Amino acid sequence: MSGSALPPFDPYDPLGIDDLLSAEDRAVRETVRTWAADRVLPYVAGWYEAGELPVIRELARELGSIGALGMSLTGYGCAGASAVQYGLACLELEAADSGIRSLVSVQGSLAMYAIHRFGSEEQRQEWLPRMAAGEVIGCFGLTEPDHGSDPAGMRTYAKRDGDDWVLNGRKMWITNGSVAGVAVVWARTGDAPNNPGFRGFVVPTDAPGFSAPEIKHKWSLRASVTSELVLDDVRLPADAVLPEGAGLKGPLSCLGHARYGIVWGAMGAARSSFESALDYAKTRVQFGRAIGGFQLTQAKLADMAVELHKGILLAHHLGRRMDAGRLRPEQVSFGKLNNVREAIEICRTSRTILGANGISLEYPVMRHATNLESVLTYEGTVEMHQLVLGKALTGLDAFR
């Protein structure tokens, strides 16, 4: 191929990754990007500064209308999109704010996925169409105040009482909790500590004894609703149990689905920060010329571009594997570990290019950086994903 036939170099897609996308993929991406530009970007700095998301119910209905809720699920009003298309949506949502992507991930990849994958047909019919439309917001109760990385130690307990179940316990750091109409709650059901059973329950949040006080004073994910779940003798009928969700494989498979979305989403926060730094470097003048013309600034931009687009390529690769039914949990850990870690570094380096302006909410960089500190921890900490990969590489279990 002659040089004249080559396409021009695109600073915003230097590897030509868009060539991997179909027309339908691009249409999905554009729909979500346009929605985020119209409904999130003009307001998110204010929401973040105030530490609230006052229009969450309205946003949920709008996200439902564009097919973004449970979008990779089939039937029951869900879009039935590909894994790659779901990933592209996560990237665009997190390019706006991690809190908005978290809303969608918890709704679709955790609460809806659990009901779709492990629920009865009656549970699916009752909840999924309304959740797909954004009419009902869902949450997912697994993490507890004293048990995060080790869910087998959970204390929330479900006890049989005749045909009913009675739940007692607490869950912590639950996205969407105080605005949810339904909670998927995981509880210990075994009678002996050395032989615990675990089951998932579909819990209407108006059930007596259920409450969800909102968690305040966060310095990360401030444009997101985060709550505690309190279950005080919550009585549920026998059909509240997820019939296919026995054991810990149920909640862990849900987490795997959500982690996949993070692999893409983290690159959205990184892209937003990188593009802010790139644009700023071309217009900010010091010592008589734009700072983008200095070698040290160019080195930072080059290194960030390399890691950003490597991460996007990794996300694409994992998405194709998921669509082919060949994505392993260890591969999701690989993606989450790499992409969130690199996204944080991109945000920090972008902040240095913006200088003091980098800490201002007039730019998205510091907001993304602080949000990613939460993303680094939830759905599996760095250490847990390192140990998942370590066990896969060596065959030796370092968890216990």
Instruction: Let me know whether 26 and 114 are in one domain.
Output: yes
Residues 231 and 197 in one domain: yes
Structure tokens that stand for 364 in this block: 């998205």
Has 58 been annotated as catalytic? no
Which among 98, 181, 105 has a CA at the least distance from the CA of 137? 181
> Is 1 among the domain residues?
no
| Residues lower than pLDDT 70 in the chain | 1-4, 191-196
pLDDT in tens, 174-194: 999 999 999 999 999 976 555
Residues 232 and 279 both lie in one domain: no
pLDDT at 209: 97
Same domain, 132 and 143: no
Same-domain pairing of 95 and 16: yes
Residue whose structure tokens are 């994958």? 117
In a domain, 400, yes or no: no
Catalytic residue among 24, 126, 379, 383: 379
Single residue among 79, 114, 137 that ends a domain in this structure: 137
Which class for 299: exposed (0-12), middle (13-18), buried (19 or more C-beta within 10 A)?
Answer: exposed
CATH number, domain of 292, equals 1.20.140.10
**106 found inside a domain:** yes
CATH number at residue 123: 1.10.540.10
Pair 234, 256 in one domain:
no
Tell which of 112, 137, 162 closes a domain. Answer: 137
Backbone phi, then psi, for 77, in 5-degree steps? 85, 5
Number of structural domains, the chain?
3
Could you list the residue range(s) of the whole structural domain that residue 264 is in?
250-394
Residue 161 lies in a domain: yes
Whether 132 and 145 map to the same domain: the answer is no
Q: Quick check: is 224 in a domain?
A: yes
For residue 281, the model assigns a pLDDT of 98
Same domain for 241 and 147, yes or no, is: yes
Is residue 83 situated within a structural domain?
yes
Q: Which of 83, 109, 137 lies at the terminal end of a domain, its last residue?
A: 137
Both 65 and 143 in a single domain? no
Is residue 2 assigned to a domain? no
Would residue 134 be called left, alpha or beta, if left means φ above 0 and alpha means ψ between -120 and 50 degrees? left
Q: Determine, yes or no, domain membership for 260.
A: yes
